Amino acid sequence: MNAIYILWLRELKRYIRSRTQIAASLGQPLLYLLALGFGLGPIFQKSGHGSYLQFIAPGVIAMTVLFTSIFSGVSLLWDRQFGFLKETLVAPVSRITIMIGRTLGGATVAMIQGVLVIVVCLIAGFRPVNLAAVPFAFVFMILIAIVFGALGTAIGSVLQDMQGFQLIMNFLVLPIFFLSGALFPLANLPKALGIVTSIDPLSYGVDGLRGSLIGLSHFGPAIDVAVLCILAAIFFGIGSFLFSRIQL
Amino acid sequence: MIRAQDLVKTFGEFTAVDSISFHVERGEIFAFLGPNGAGKTTTIKMLTTLLKPTSGRVELDGLNPAVQQNEARQRFGIVFQDPSLDSELTAYENMDLHGVLYHVPRKVRIERIERLLKLFELWERRKDRIKQFSGGMKRRLEIARGLLHTPKILFLDEPTLGLDPQSRNQLWTHVKNLNESEQVTVFLTTHYMDEADRVADRIAVIDHGRIVAQGSPAELKRQTESDSLEQAFLALTGSSIRDESAGSADQLRQFTKMWKR
């Protein structure tokens, strides 16, 4: 228990101390929000879907949580490189404990980033439709953070070097984001794209967030929660397994 | 305190450690010497639960580290060949984290961290982040950290690599003192023969995965009719150069260095 806490605290301290990183990581969501939100806004409005800023704000929040949590998982690679991983792996605590501490730490950091982006969205003019449903948005953020934090750990356990990291970024993280419906409605898509989006785990996170924040849901909140919970369990299982097999 | 019996480790076709046996007495400083790629680090990894032996037995303070993993880990401290501190955390935080991972009760932790940091002359810098530390300070901190949970055995894998003579001298003085004051058994590897000569009670020389000689520094010198341990070492292992291919960790390090510039 203490071990989980101290590893959680470590992730948090590392996050708080990297101020330039915090600032940099807020830049990207801001860009999406402003460039797309206001740039595509008029066309979106004309097609009869209402405000695009309102529409993509939940998507941008989901994106932030996705990126932060997956990177915190993959940061295993840095720990491996700078040697700290050895210190934890040779300690008399089980690998699963280490994995839980890391994942919870990463999830907490992702939540903080997500909340910061919510604030940015509010400043940009985003307004949640139903304040009573906002707490559910946090539930979805936590679920996204755990699903992708665990996925990140799984990947970080297998990867050996930085080249692999770039590969993951381009061929996994970006597709997950772009194919999730964060930027476009899931209704009336071409069939192939519709199938792909329904396989993308983030689709359910974005959908859940959109449901809680602007009352618009494609799959329905019950399915969103169910899918995310199941995936969280599966990815956590895979992540733990791969993490437990790391050899130095 | 440490006992290895017919220890073997093979990686595919390659035999890294080829049936070695040795034992280290309680309170002894034992040096494990050998050229690059001789099997030193592989042996340390097997002794410290990081690698399962292909065959043979290891005993640490009466425990089998392959089976009683956590109990065994609680009994030793280790300083790895490469740094293993979190550079974003302060010296104190690195110590504290270690203490929690090793189940050191809070009160004991606070006392012992202060004592060890003072002993290693790092107390004034306890609130500084590791990234501001010099190589010597990092090594001292790692040794202090390795001792935090009052282990019975301390493993030091080339602890003085890359340090200046002053830091090396100071480091061995500390190790020698701790060996006496805390009764801790020390198992070390090094490439500096003068260091082994100075601190070690007994030495084992390993080459091509086999132990080629064992004994006190004086005995090894006598056996090989050499004046210095360096000469004895060369007489035992030959003077040809061993090339080791870079491991993935080294390649990664090179790669990031390239990007930082």
- Kindly tell me if the per-residue pLDDT of A248 is higher than 80: no
- Exposure b/e, B95-125, CB count within 10 A at least 16 = b: bbbbbbbbebeeeebeebbeebbebbebeeb
Q: 3-state DSSP call for residue A247?
A: coil
Q: Which residue of A has its CA nearest to B83?
A: A83
- Residues A21-46 have pLDDT tens digits of 788 888 888 899 989 988 988 888 88
Cβ of residue A1 closer than 8 Å to a chain B Cβ: no
Pick A162's closest partner by Cβ from B69, B71, B256: B256
Residues of B in contact with A12 (CB under 8 A): none
- Pair of tokens at residue B219: 């005995």
pLDDT digit of tens for each residue in chain B (261 aa)? Answer: 899 999 999 988 888 899 999 999 999 999 999 888 888 888 999 999 888 899 999 999 999 888 888 999 999 999 998 889 999 999 999 999 999 999 999 999 999 999 999 988 999 999 999 999 998 899 999 999 999 999 999 999 998 888 888 888 888 998 898 899 888 999 999 888 888 988 999 999 998 889 988 999 888 888 888 888 888 888 888 767 666 555 555 555 555 655 554
The interface predicted TM-score (ipTM) is 0.87
Pick B50's closest partner by Cβ from A5, A92, A248: A248
> How many separate domains does chain A show?
1
Domain containing A67 equals 2-244
According to the model, what pLDDT value does residue B261 have? 46
Cβ pair B248:A248 closer than 8 A: no
Cβ of residue B83 closer than 8 Å to a chain A Cβ: yes
d(CA A92, CA A94): 7
- Kindly tell me if the per-residue pLDDT of A77 is higher than 80: yes
Residues of B in contact with A248 (CB under 8 A): 45, 50-51
- Kindly tell me if the per-residue pLDDT of A48 is higher than 90: no
Given a contact cutoff of 8 angstroms between Cβ atoms, the answer to whether B203 and B196 are in contact is yes
According to the model, what pLDDT value does residue B251 have? 58
Q: How confident is the model at residue A232 (pLDDT cuts 50, 70, 90)?
A: very high
- Kindly tell me if the per-residue pLDDT of A91 is higher than 90: yes
Could you give the percent of chain A with pLDDT greater than 90?
63
CA distance A190 to chain B (A): 42
Binding-face residues of A in 148-167 toward B, CB within 8 A? 160-163
According to the model, what pLDDT value does residue B252 have? 58
Q: What is the largest CA-CA distance in chain A?
A: 62
Pick A13's closest partner by Cβ from B83, B89, B251: B89
Q: What is the 3-state secondary structure (H, E, C) of chain B?
A: CEEEEEEEEEECCEEEEEEEEEEECCCCEEEEECCCCCCHHHHHHHHCCCCCCCEEEEEECCECCCCCHHHHHHHEEEECCCCCCCCCCEHHHHHHHHHHHCCCCHHHHHHHHHHHHHHCCCHHHCCCEHHHCCHHHHHHHHHHHHHCCCCCEEEEECCCCCCCHHHHHHHHHHHHHHHHHCCCEEEEECCCHHHHHHHCCEEEEEECCEEEEEECHHHHHHHHCCCCHHHHHHHHHCCCCCCCCCCHHHHHHHHHHHHHC
Cβ of residue A34 closer than 8 Å to a chain B Cβ: no
Q: What is the CATH number of domain B2-260?
A: 3.40.50.300
Residues of B in contact with A92 (CB under 8 A): 69-71, 73-74, 101-103
The chain-wide mean pLDDT, for chain A, equals 91
Cβ of residue A38 closer than 8 Å to a chain B Cβ: no
According to the model, what pLDDT value does residue B174 have? 87
Q: CB neighbours (10 Å) of residue A210?
A: 28
Binding-face residues of B in 17-46 toward A, CB within 8 A? 45
Residues of A in contact with B84 (CB under 8 A): 83-87
Q: CB neighbours (10 Å) of residue B70?
A: 15
